[in-house]
Structure 1
Amino acid sequence: MECTRCGKDSTISTRGEKFCDDCFVDFLNRKIRPQLTHFRVNGSPDSKTVSPLIVVPINFRAASLALVDMLVNMRKLQMQKHKQMDGFRILCLYIGDLSDDVSWPWPEVDFEQIELNVSSIEQPIGIDSDTLTRSSKQDLEKIMTRQMILAYAKKHEAFTAFAYSMTKLSEITLAETVKGRGANLPALVTPDLMLDKVVYPLRDITSSELEKYCKITGLNKYIIPDAPVPSVTKRQSIDEIVHLYFTKVQEEFPSVVSTVSKISSRLSQTGEECGLCQPRYIGKSVKLCYACASIAKETEMKRKLDILDMYEL
């Protein structure tokens, strides 16, 4: 079969089209541009205006690696067309411990690493992470990671570009609804760029397409594999179950993924003002949504069981 764009032999079939490797890479690079119109080149060659900084959280999975590569390509194209002027700068941020043997593909892109600090939120909310179930612990770590990223970006007066694909946004929509955070979805899945300074450039690309992108561009050798998921369903977290579901669905029924990812943008926000998981209200509200209150209750339940054990004959 021929590539529908250039007529060469096709290697990839997606969205009803046939692509060769080069056309597929170009197709995905163009897909992120509608989400990044705010970061066009603005000014003249003599202008001393500093381009806005975009913090890109990276976890060395296919989506984040692909996003950085696309942003690097977009910035290079801007500089070629506008006499070395760019519309943004890139800074990559990794939260957590990183092995020393991990390679970094882009020497021209700044990279910074900070440790995940879950304890900073345990005391005010009354949570002890040692008492939590595996699912709740993962949930808390994800909340804290996002908060640390947004706090870092705010400190540097930067925007944040999360590597959330269409598939990932669908997973978030379903998982957060199951957990009890449905009211938070509009702000989480379709954030206001100027209010929240958050953008999802990959929102129109599936995770399977990003994996193919990494394979073609050679970025797959930099991918750090996900931790193994327990084979027993009862031991899997909500996020893992939803992820496994959409991994299977996106190949045969991509329209399902697209539909789910758009559902939350049509919802109205009631604003529970959760002081734990909603970035807009962190530090401003002592209220907890249903899901975060459930995490706190696990700690309280453990304390009650410990007291009963002390008096057990």
Structure 2
Amino acid sequence: MSLINNVTGGKPTPCARCQHFDTVLIVRAEHLCRDCFTKYVGTKVLKRLEANKIRGGFKEAQKTVLLPVSFGASSVTLLHILDQQLQDRAQQGRHCGYNLHVLFIDQSTVLDEVDVRDAMELLSQRYPAHKYTTISLEDCFDYGIEFEGLSNSGEDRLQHIISSMPSATSKVDFIDIARRRLIIAFAKKSGNDSILFGDSTTRIAEKTLSETAKGRGVALPWLTADGFIEGIHCIFPMRDLLRKEITAYASMISPPLTPLISGESPKVSASSKDTTIDGLMSQYFESVEQNYPSIVANVVRTSGRLNPLAMLEGCRSCSICGDGVSTISWGGEQQDSVISSQPANRDGQKPALALCYGCARTALRPQD
């Protein structure tokens, strides 16, 4: 049985919650009507915000919250729910609690992506009450982000770094690192108090296994769970919703969000040379979510039990991704060889680079 089934044929079944309307969807074995389902999705998000104290009272200072959008179903749906909440509070005369700043990072210079300039215009027209900013991934250097140990010289520094990566997985891995670091740097420079990531349960499950396979398992608490990164509160309000639920919600509300959604499901390349770990994990969970949604939820619950506090004491930041580097020597000669292969400085001494295991293995190759 799929996660969400359209109920057709036979005698209509009343909604399990309101008992007034006919069932249109079966969500996690519960029959729901259209209104109860949309309320179910919105409640999941707002409860997560309340748990992280993203709310508003007259005695609380208004916060500025950054929402990065990729024009996938999750980020666009999150924007819709937040906009609806702010509108409801304004109509009730209540303190809104926060201002929303929407950020889009253009990656077209390094990835073959669909032009979303028209989609950005449609998004700002439908939700005009918020601030919108578009920046390029190449702007990461303008925000003071450096990737030590990698060649940062030349006009096309980002393209040069990506082209020097040894595999397709390494290239995608580095682009994800650059995008995440740019979002955090932009939030700090713009004075945002929090960042709301639109990762669904399915996306977090994909990230959990793919980052572990790439050697970044130790960084999962920072990549998949609510918490502080470089002084910025990072929150995942959609982490309790599966991708199928979000997609159904986006097509069900009036007017639907589908014209604003341009993201497509990742496709695994037919060539093994271009196949990435991220693509394989996306394909795997896309099929698992249909018949075994509990597996997806269990992966996320397991990763949520990881505690980052034990890693914070006495650890250094990775020179590439910025995550914590374990003080325990579990990389052995492999990690040592990567570090020692860096060119000497003017004094003839090797630079003291701190590399996490993931960057040492997948995102960094000794430079000539």
TM over 0.5: yes
Listed as ranges, the gaps of 5+ residues in structure 1 are 304-313
User: Residue 213 of structure 1 is aligned with which of 228, 235, 249?
Assistant: 249
- Higher mean displacement: 270-279 or 69-78: 270-279
The one-letter code matched in structure 1 to 2:118 is: D
Asked whether the 8 Å contact 1:125–1:296 carries over to 2, the reply is: no
Give the partner amino acid of 2:198: A
Letter in 2 for 1:140: F
Aligned pair 1:4/2:25, yes or no? no
The yes-or-no answer on 1:259 pairing with 2:298 is: yes
Letter in 2 for 1:85: H
The partner residue of 1:41 within 50, 56, 77 is: 56
Report deviation, 1:252. Answer: 0.9
Amino acid at match of 1:93: L
Aligned to 2:319: 275
1:236 and 1:179 mapped to 2: Cα distance?
14
| Partner Cα distance (2:45, 2:282) in 1 | 23
For residues 50-100 of structure 1, what are the alpha-carbon distances to aligned partners after superposition, in whole Å with 9 as ceiling and x for unaligned? 51011000010100001101111122222233x142011111100015543
CA gap of 1:119–1:222, structure 2 versus 1, over 3 A, is: closer
Q: Structure 1 pair 138/42, CA: closer, same or farther in 2 (3 Å)?
A: same
Select between 183-192 and 196-205 the one with higher mean Cα deviation.
Answer: 183-192
TM-score using structure 1 length? 0.85
Q: Distance in 2 between matches of 1:99 and 1:166?
A: 25
Q: Residue 76 and residue 119 in structure 1: after superposition, are their counterparts in 2 closer, same or farther (change >3 A)?
A: closer
Q: Distance in 2 between matches of 1:188 and 1:156?
A: 22
Aligned to 2:128: 107
Deviation at 1:21, TM superposition (A): 1.8
Aligned CA RMSD, in angstroms, stands at: 2.4
Q: Is residue 56 of structure 1 aligned with residue 72 of structure 2?
A: no
Q: Which residue of 2 aligns with 1:31?
A: 44
**Native 8 Å contact 1:118 1:141 kept in 2:** no
How much identity, in percent, do the aligned residues show? 28
Relative to the length of structure 2, the TM-score reads 0.73
Does structure 1 conserve the Cα–Cα contact (< 8 Å) formed by 2:173 and 2:363? no
Alpha-carbon distance in 1 for matches of 2:363, 2:206? 24
Quote the Cα distance in structure 2 between the aligned partners of 1:30 and 1:294: 41
Residue 91 (structure 1) aligned to one of 101, 109, 112: 101
> Against the structure 1 CA distance between its residues 286 and 196, is the aligned structure 2 distance closer, same or farther, given a 3 Å change threshold?
farther
Match of 1:129 among 162, 172, 175: 162
State the number of aligned residues.
293
Structure 1 residue 293 and structure 2 residue 344: aligned? no
Distance 1:258 1:233 in 2: 29
| Structure 1 residue 160 corresponds to structure 2 residue 228 | no
Partner letter of residue 130 of structure 1?
Answer: S
With over 3 angstroms needed to count, the CA separation of the structure-2 counterparts of 1:119 and 1:267, relative to structure 1, is: closer
Higher helix share: 1
Query: Could you say what secondary structure the match of 2:117 adopts?
Result: coil
Q: Contact 1:67–1:202 (CA<8 Å) still a contact in 2?
A: yes
Q: Which runs of 4+ in 1 moved over 4 A?
A: none
Distance in 1 of aligned mates of 2:128 and 2:89: 19
TM-superposed deviation, 1:23? 1.4
